[in-house]
Structure 1
Amino acid sequence: MARVFSSFALLTLAFSVAMASDHSPLQDLCVADMNSQVFVNGFTCKNPSSVQANDFYFSGLHMMANTSNALGFGVKPVSVTQLSGLNTLGISMARIDYAPWGINPPHTHPRASEILTVLEGSLEVGFVTSNPENRHISKVLNKGDVFVFPVNLVHYQRNVGNSNAVAIVGLSSQNSGVNPIANVVFGSKPDISTDILVKAFQTSDDVISSIRSKF
Structure 2
Amino acid sequence: MISDRVRFALIWTALVGVLAVPIAAAATSPLLAWRDPIYILAGFAGIVGMALLLVQPLLIGGLLPGLSGPPGRRVHRWIGGILVAAVLIHVGALWITSPPDVVDALLLVSPTPFSVWGVIAMWAVFAAALLAALRKRLRLRPRRWRLGHAALAVVTVLGTVAHALLIDGTMETLSKVMLCVLVLAATGKIVAGLKV
> Which bin holds the TM-score, normalised by the shorter protein?
under 0.3
Flag the structure with more relative contact order, 1 or 2, with Cα contacts below 8 A and sequence separation at least 6: 2
TM-score (structure 1 length as normaliser): 0.24
More helix by share: 2
Greater strand share, structure number: 1
